[in-house]
Amino acid sequence: MSSKTLLVQRLAAIRAEGRAALIGYLPAGFPSVDGSIAAMKAMIAGGVDVIEVGFPYSDPVMDGPTIQLAAGRALAQGTSAVDVLKTVEAITQTNTPAVVMSYWNPVAHYGVSNFARDLAKVGGSGLITPDLTIDEASEWLNAAATSSIDPIFVVAPSTTDERLSKVVAACRGFVYAASTMGVTGARSKVANTAEALVRRVCAATDLPVCVGLGVSNAEQANEVAQYADGVIVGSAFVRTLLDAPDLASGIKAVEDLARALAEGVRR
């Protein structure tokens, strides 16, 4: 890779501060394209370090009911790849690293090298591909390297050591550690498998390890920040917007949640 992405630079700076990064997820196009951009900017104002822009998809196998509902609404309004890229550009213009979280089908449909090229054009740093296996990733890895995009793969507690080594060797930016088997969603407590998984990943790579699935409040964010390089929060932000009576109050509530989570990771 010819140059370090904004994501790599920012995570290194945060690590040098001796704290974990806060990564916030929302699907593009929910509750509207402009509404999702406004909510993401509110997350940044509240202290989110990196934005994960969801590419809405009709068959989101890893997502729980909260994100499925939001993605469904985004799709019903016709949210497209162009809207996803427009959202990424709006975020990167604030000098905040943005990565896209997408199932493989929409990327393949757009064209693998085209997506890498266009994501780089709008300043995007990386792509998280939860359902792309490392065995089938060669075309994507080549395209990502050509366009200086960080390929980010997901590992889980069930990932064997042998496979884990293979997966993290292909990652750039960070490794996404899923705290538990199952779908996304806010949980009353973060799975105790998360810390052991982070230890295993750290033994295999120097890349930052960021933990997702289940973090929903400042206490959980603080707990995960003790052992991970990054804390990923998705469903809690989506639920906050879903529960709001209107967009303006939803945006304020999202910023308040970001502030509480940011205080948790920095505590």
Residues labelled as active-site residues: 52, 63
Residues in the chain: 267
Alpha-carbon span 78 to 87, nearest angstrom: 14
Give yes or no for a contact between 155 and 129, defined as CB atoms under 8 angstroms apart.
Answer: no
Q: Which one-letter amino acid corresponds to residue 94?
A: T
Alpha-carbon span 77 to 125, nearest angstrom: 26
Give yes or no for a contact between 123 and 92, defined as CB atoms under 8 angstroms apart.
Answer: yes
DSSP states of 49-101 as a string? -EEEEE---S--TT--HHHHHHHHHHHHTT--HHHHHHHHHHHHTTT--EEEE
Give yes or no for a contact between 81 and 56, defined as CB atoms under 8 angstroms apart.
Answer: no
Q: Which one-letter amino acid corresponds to residue 248?
A: A
